[in-house]
Amino acid sequence: MAQMNKLQSFFFMILFPVLACNTHRKAEERGINKHTNPNIIIILADQWRAQATGYNGNKDVITPNLDKLAKESLVFNTCVAVMPVCTPYRASLLTGQYPLTHGLFYNDKPLPNKAITIAEIYKDNGYKTGYIGKWHLNGHKEGEDTYNQRKLPVTKDRRQGFDYWKVAEVTHDYNNSFYFDENDNKQVWKGYDSFPQTDSAISYIRKNKNNPFLLVLSWGPPHDPYFSAPAEYRKLYDPAKINLRPNVPSDSRDTAKIVLANYYAHCTSLDKALGNLLNALEKEGIADNTLLVFTSDHGDMLYTKGELKKQRPWDESILVPLLIRYPEVLGRKQKHINTPVNTPDILPTLLGLSHISAPASIEGKDFSKALKSGKEPTNEAALIMMPVPFHEWNFSKGGKEYRAIRTKRYTYARDLYGAWLLYDNVKDPYQLNNLVNNKSNVRLQKEMETLLRQKLKDTNDTFLPADEYMKQWKYRYDYDDSIRPATYYTDLKFKRNKN
């Protein structure tokens, strides 16, 4: 009974902010000078995989506010991180380009100032612009230490069009973490940083509700360290009661349960912050005219196949949540979108929903017409790439170059020497049965290879070895990232010939 009362109190605490606003009052009813341009709010979590959401069928994780938002949103069931790792994804989100175009296919490289970004586009169309939280696009100059540069401010000339600024380049210390303001003064978020970051976002919304604005709220969690969520949220999860996906190996299951319990605690903490922000939009009377996006930069393997973190082409790494709510145009009824949507597609789609022309530099697809008409967008597959594996998945740790596609049903990947992975994600949702070179799937594999080759042609990707891209962009590998087993390429070739 005590446990039940604790859970009831918890649900009341996190749901009350949204339930308190039981009417969706139009802005004009509240005396606000309503503008015709939609406000844009992008809520970006770090390393939140698509499978870790209540609305997606996960019965362990507690995300009532996110689930409620999903009931009022377009729910994209196959949203793919074009390159499932922080810097490349963020650059593609901001530019609508693929990593080999903007050049950020490796963490901690600087996004060129010549890139045309989302903030610059909206700013040119009369929008206020603001960014709060993790950035990870400033990088460092040649010869400078990667991790030392993460602690420095992002100067005004490197903010890519964002004016309001409360940002850390990178920190994974989520309690009393640091950030820099518009004047490069170092400040501290008191407590668990996602809460004061969200409070700052709410303040920004209140101050700018009479003008169209673009705001990015970029949370650091649920990225590891997994054990740093507030204690009250960690207490909600008993590792012994956590359900694991069947693709977690038996020798990893005990550890996986502990890690997942703490990962979910981060998710539930963020859900509370999300509820506060949703409540503020309703209270200020601008929810209907706000184009709200919730997503993440990549997933986390979380011991699937015995692996941790990202970069891999499996669903736990590449699939991310994507919700888009824009009541004034799209209504408030849930609609599921199964078409594969890729990271570069998000910016042109937002521009289309905002009636803003996309610059020629954007490579992604604009799905706005289909979304506004209530139809399913058309897109055969989303491209996934790993031009250069690095850091926790560098060559010596099993990383390798690959290109892949994710369709509604299939995943197909190849490395430098041929087909690597082929899954039927309908029959085999946990990707346990690799169909590559299976005699009964010759036709399917050929179709997937043809589709992948077309995607590479469309993006001018000749799929070269990692060293070639590093040379082209004049990058140096960090630390021991360039080191690979002596037989790396011959081993790959042998495996392909053997199959």
Active-site positions?
86, 136
Residues 131, 162: contact at Cβ < 8 Å? yes
- Residue 109 DSSP one-character state: P
Cis status, amide bond into 88, omega within 30 of 0? no
Look at residues 323, 330, 292, 286 and name the one whose alpha carbon lies nearest to residue 63. 323
Q: Which of 45, 124, 104, 136 is nearest to 323 (CA)?
A: 45
Handedness of CA 77, 82, 87, 90 (dihedral sign): negative
Measured between alpha carbons, how far is 188 from 175 in angstroms, rounded to an integer? Answer: 9
| Cα angle 494, 497, 499; round to 5 | 110
Alpha-carbon torsion (237, 240, 242, 245), positive or negative: positive
Q: Which whole-number Å values give the CA distances from 176 to 153, 201, 273, in the listed order?
A: 17, 17, 16
Contact, 307 vs 46, CB < 8 A? no
CA 419 to CA 434: how far, in whole Å? Answer: 11
Rounded-to-integer distance, Cα 153 and Cα 86, Å: 18
